[in-house]
């Protein structure tokens, strides 16, 4: 084999190795981009789920506060009526 032939083969191997390295890095970069995109989508989905859960909790708390307010008003009304009845009883016994 002549020196020129060996030189051409060496250059062809070198070019092939560079091409393989280039393809490897392209695949690696593409995989990293895909991974980043999937991670971003997962993050967005989790964030959306958290916002939905937060809104649900807020709605539940509002409902609970409303129910507690209703119960408190009922007890206050009963207490007021009881105090008025006691006052009427004491006034009627006093006179």
Domain regions of the chain by residue span: 1-95
Q: Sign of dihedral through CA atoms 48, 50, 55, 56? A: positive
Q: What are phi and psi of 11, to 5 degrees?
A: -65, -40
Report the alpha-carbon distance of residue 50 to residue 3 in Å, rounded.
69
pLDDT of 94: 86
Report the alpha-carbon distance of residue 79 to residue 76 in Å, rounded.
5
pLDDT of 67: 97
pLDDT of 12: 87
Claim: this prediction has a pTM higher than 0.75: no
Task: State which residues of the chain have pLDDT below 70.
Answer: none
Report the alpha-carbon distance of residue 95 to residue 11 in Å, rounded.
123
């Amino acid at each position: 084999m002549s020196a020129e032939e060996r030189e051409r083969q060496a250059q062809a191997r070198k070019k092939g190795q560079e091409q393989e390295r280039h393809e490897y890095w392209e695949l690696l970069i593409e995989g990293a981009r895909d991974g980043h995109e999937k991670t971003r989508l997962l993050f967005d989905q989790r964030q959306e789920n958290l916002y939905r859960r937060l809104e649900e909790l807020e709605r539940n708390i509002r409902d609970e506060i409303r129910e507690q307010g209703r119960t408190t008003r009922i007890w206050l009304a009963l207490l007021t009526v009881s105090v008025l009845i006691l006052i009427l009883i004491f006034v009627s016994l006093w006179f």
